[in-house]
Amino acid sequence: MAAEVFNYLQKEQKPVYKAAIQGLANQRNLRGVFIERKPPNERFPWMQQALSRPISDALASHLIQGWLLGANKAMLNDFLDALEIAHEEDGTVEELPPCPPKEKIAGAVQILRGKYSAEAVAVYLHAFRDMDSSVQWPALNELLTEMPELQLGS
């Protein structure tokens, strides 16, 4: 999944990808070109490992959001449509409503699971939960805990 994200960003969102490489390089006191010159089979695992460090949380979130809003607009829109949440064409929401009922969220999750890979759905739901700290959806937290297929790394 990480390679898929990095490949997409490298091809479709070059400025975001280059900024990520430069940010990771700066954290390690390296020049960005050192990372860029590595072949993808070495670069991507290195980037994944570097992004898993706590210092890189904001950068990792930015990359995931770029990938979701770019490569996965349909999934975002399907989730928001199932929850009857008004949104822009690109899947962005001006203001999230209070938490919908758990059953409604579970139904939206089932729609996503029927159309998209379990790993992509899990990444999206975790990113959705974590994107706005001012809006809490306890029912989504429960589903992410209860459903093993929605746990990252499963």
| Same-domain pairing of 106 and 143 | yes
104 to 1, 5, 63, 100, 146: CA distances (angstroms):
28, 29, 29, 7, 16
Q: What percent of the chain has pLDDT over 70?
A: 99
| 10 touches 19 (CB < 8 A) | no
pLDDT at 73 over 70: yes
Backbone angles phi, psi at 73, to 5 degrees: -55, -40
Mean pLDDT score across all residues of the chain: 93
Residue with tokens 């990444």: 123
Q: Are 65 and 89 members of one domain?
A: no
Q: Specify whether 42 is located in the same domain as 85.
A: no
Residue 144 has pLDDT above 90, yes or no: yes
Range scoring the smallest mean pLDDT among 2-11, 34-43, 89-98, 129-138: 129-138
Residues 139, 85, single domain; the answer is: yes
Sequence-distant (6+) residues with CB within 8 A of 137 are 99, 100, 105, 129
- Is residue 117 within 8 A of residue 153, CB to CB? The reply is no
| Residue 133 banded pLDDT, cuts 50, 70, 90 | confident
| Confidence (pLDDT) at 46 | 96
Domain range for 42 is 2-70
Residue whose C-alpha is closest to residue 129's, from 105, 153, 104, 103: 105
For the residues 71-94, what does the mean pLDDT come to? 93
Interval 93-120 mean pLDDT: 95
For residues 146 and 94, state if they share a domain. Answer: yes
Dist. CA 65–CA 127, nearest whole Å: 7
